[in-house]
Amino acid sequence: MRLSNKVALITGAGSGIGREAALLFAKEGAKVVVVDINSVAGQETVSLIKAAGGEAAFTANDVSKAAEARAMIEFAEKIFGKLNVLFNNAGIFPDADGSVLETDEEVWDLVMNVNLKGVFFGCKFGIPALLRAGGGSIINTASFVALMGAATSQIAYTASKGGVLAMTREMAVEFARQNIRLNAICPGPVETPLLAQLLSDPARRQRRMVHIPMGRLARATEVAQAALFLASDESAYVNGATFTVDGGITAAYVTPE
Ligand code: NAD
């Protein structure tokens, strides 16, 4: 198994990519700490893991609050004795996030607090725990929009993901000699509840689809597989990477018909 003897904490593990990663990491032998602001969803993920014979525990925490982010790390060390893998995956994409001209300051702050400050807190409190465990792997979820503009405006989201990517690189350099690796996953559009609202509009869906060489959205499991690789020792020399899982979006100049 690829994550035997490892303890992995995954934020936003009640849905989408986070849930798939939690199921996969547990299947590969990790003890998984499921973190989500939504208790029902988080507990459901734990039940699914246990039903499949895995080991997991849930803690309800809001990653955008310092005390709660600290508490989730303490929970991991208390319940499972250590922390080896931290997947800062929780993120939001509110409807009201649009053009720079129309997006309100409150929406900007909300998105930044969860998507960017949440990753900052995860690393701030998680890195000392990884150091106590002798090192480990941190995976931060950015997005392909950190590398290019989004076809449908979402100014706060795009800015937050650019920040996640830049911050990941800086920490990857700082902790490289202390046996901690940090990498950012940049998924393309994934078929999850986060995008459901946006993609329920056929015109907006088509506007997105035009840019995807593979002609389809990603599945959450496909992003989880990338996270598994980065979490495991198979990626021992991968550090500070911008790990695109985008079906070729960022490589495309012209998309085939
Ligand atoms: P999702 O909406 O399916 O799941 C996100 C989970 O995070 C939910 O269970 C939610 O309750 C939880 N969450 C939200 N705010 C939280 C908070 N403050 N504290 C703790 N938990 C919180 O989303 P997803 O599509 O699986 O997205 C996961 C990550 O991938 C996000 O960072 C997202 O920005 C990123 N991403 C998604 C896509 C996509 O197209 N879906 C593309 C690129 C990147």
For the chain, the structural domain boundaries read 7-190+219-243
Tens digits of pLDDT across the chain (257 residues): 999 999 999 999 999 999 999 999 999 999 999 999 999 999 999 999 999 999 999 999 999 999 999 999 999 999 999 999 999 999 999 999 999 999 999 999 999 999 999 999 999 999 999 999 999 999 999 999 999 998 889 999 999 999 999 999 999 999 999 999 999 999 999 998 888 777 788 887 887 788 899 999 999 999 999 999 999 999 999 999 999 999 999 999 876 76
Among 9, 10, 11, 15, which is best to mutate for testing ligand 1, by the most ligand atoms less than 8 A from CB?
15
Atom index in ligand 1 nearest the CA of residue 142 equals 44
User: Hey, what long-range contacts does 73-78 have (CB within 8 A, 24 or more apart)?
Assistant: 73/9, 73/125, 73/126, 73/129, 75/33, 76/7, 76/9, 76/33, 76/129, 77/129, 77/132
Q: Is the distance from the beta carbon of residue 122 to the nearest atom of ligand 1 less than 6 Å?
A: no
Q: How far is the CA of 12 from the centre of ligand 1 (A)?
A: 6
| pLDDT at residue 77, as a whole number | 98
Q: How far is the CA of 125 from the centre of ligand 1 (A)?
A: 20
Q: Is the distance from the beta carbon of residue 158 to the nearest atom of ligand 1 less than 6 Å?
A: no
| pLDDT at residue 204, as a whole number | 79
Q: Is the distance from the beta carbon of residue 160 to the nearest atom of ligand 1 less than 6 Å?
A: no
Q: How far is the CA of 257 from the centre of ligand 1 (A)?
A: 31
| pLDDT at residue 16, as a whole number | 97
For the domain bounded by 7-190+219-243, which CATH number is listed? 3.40.50.720
What tokens appear for 181 in the block?
């690796």
| pLDDT at residue 207, as a whole number | 77
Q: How far is the CA of 32 from the centre of ligand 1 (A)?
A: 17
Atom index in ligand 1 nearest the CA of residue 68 equals 19
Full DSSP string of the chain: -TTTT-EEEEETTTSHHHHHHHHHHHHTT-EEEEEES-HHHHHHHHHHHHHTT-EEEEEE--TTSHHHHHHHHHHHHHHHS---EEEE------TT---TTT--HHHHHHHIIIIIIHHHHHHHHHHHHHHHTT-EEEEEE--GGGTS--SS--HHHHHHHHHHHHHHHHHHHHTGGGTEEEEEEEE--BSSHHHHHHHTSHHHHHHHHTT-TTSSPBPHHHHHHHHHHHHSGGGTT--S-EEEESTTGGG-SS---
Among 65, 92, 117, 167, which is best to mutate for testing ligand 1, by the most ligand atoms less than 8 A from CB?
92
Active site residues: 157
Q: Return the bridge partners of 180, or none.
A: 136
| pLDDT at residue 193, as a whole number | 85
Among 194, 212, 222, 243, which is best to mutate for testing ligand 1, by the most ligand atoms less than 8 A from CB?
194
Q: How far is the CA of 194 from the centre of ligand 1 (A)?
A: 6
Q: Is the distance from the beta carbon of residue 14 to the nearest atom of ligand 1 less than 6 Å?
A: yes
